[in-house]
Amino acid sequence: MTDLTRRAMLAAPAVVGAAATFATARGARAQGTDGPDASIPVFRYRVGDIEVFPIYDGMRAFPLQDGFVTNASLEEVQAAFTADMRATDAIENPFTATLLRIGGRNVLVDTGNGPQEGESPVGRLVAGLAVIGVAPSDVDTVVISHFHGDHISGLRGADGAPVFPNAETLVPEGEAAYWLDEGEMSRAPEGRRGGFERAQAIFAGEDLGMHTYAGGDELAPGMVAVDAHGHSPGHMAFRVQSGGDGLLLISDAAHLPFLFVANPDWSVRFDMDPQMARETRRRLLDEAAADRLMIAGYHWGFPNVGHVRRAGGGFELVRIPWPG
């Protein structure tokens, strides 16, 4: 694993399917308050000896418009919504981070939307961690899949201080090389400038204990980084293995599953390199189907984990049942 500070980076341009066991828990109120709130869902499953907790950060909704899928017509996309028994006028976009307990250490993958002003449907990560008895200071490692704002904004609180004060922060070297480079920012389209500004503000200084990693690096025992570029320049996935059990965390390689798992050659408007993203999507879904891996996506709702099987020209997600 490469050890680079932000200053240095700115200066330099087949396993069987895993069996799951579950435990349910009550929610906790929003950050900064006490007491239970059953509106925050939490569950647990296992990958061999590794405990996995999807942590729900909330959901935003916005109108479904032409161009959300860049290479399919609005009518085709609406038909996919109808086939999934959804209304065709709005997109519900959920956010789910993942906490893994590996060898007595807490490893958090992505940090959600971060602190919010007023009433907000997102920014619930810290409250979700509290449900499972994990305080921000208990997190040992934060792994970032890529630098889009809904994955990195939870690294800092409203006061700018690190939310996870005792954690090292592992970031993809390709993401750091792109988003923290002033030259790349100067050449980027205007609509992307906000992403550069956010990333450079979050990763300013050295108080996040930041190190970079590359595909093939073992980030924790049994957790290996997998190149998954296309959605963003250095976007990463993760293969988690313990004994004969395996899990593929694909982050944003496939967005809403009823659209992009079912139709892996469709491109969501957030993909920065659509052709590469399509190739990555098919590769990861093929791997999960062939190896009978559990697979989890960041925007897959709750629960965000299941298995995929080939169906027609695409794949079908079979979610792990929500425990009763």
pLDDT in tens, 25-65: 333 333 444 554 567 887 899 999 999 999 999 999 999 99
* 203 vs 111: CA distance, rounded Å: 14
Looking up tokens 């108080």, which residue turns up?
207
**Other Cβ atoms closer than 10 A to 23:** 13
Is residue 207 included in any domain, yes or no?
A: yes
Listed as ranges, residues in the chain with pLDDT below 70 are 1-38, 323-324
Q: Is residue 216 part of a domain?
A: yes
Tokens 């007491």 belong to residue: 35
Is 106 among the domain residues? yes
List 175's β-bridge partners, or say none. Answer: none
Would the CA dihedral through 270, 240, 40, 112 be positive or negative?
A: negative
Query: Would you say residue 83 lies in a domain?
Result: yes
Confidence (pLDDT) at 323: 66
What is the pLDDT at residue 154?
98
In a domain, 1, yes or no: no
Residue 324 resides in a domain? no
* pLDDT at residue 39 in the model: 74
Residue 31 pLDDT: 41
CB 308, CB 314: distance < 8 Å: no
Query: Cis (ω within 30 of 0) for the bond into 36?
Result: no
Specify the DSSP element, H or E, that contains 109.
Answer: strand 105-109
Range of the domain at 151: 6-319
For 297, which DSSP code?
A: -
> What's the confidence (pLDDT) of residue 218?
98
One-letter identity of residue 62: F
How many structural domains comprise the chain? 1
Asked whether residue 296 is domain-assigned, the answer is yes
187 Cα distance to chain centroid: 27
The neighbouring-strand residues paired with 171 are: 212
pTM assigned to the model: 0.90
Encoding tokens for residue 204? 């300013």
**Backbone φ and ψ of 113, nearest 5°:** -85, -10
CATH code at 242?
Answer: 3.60.15.10
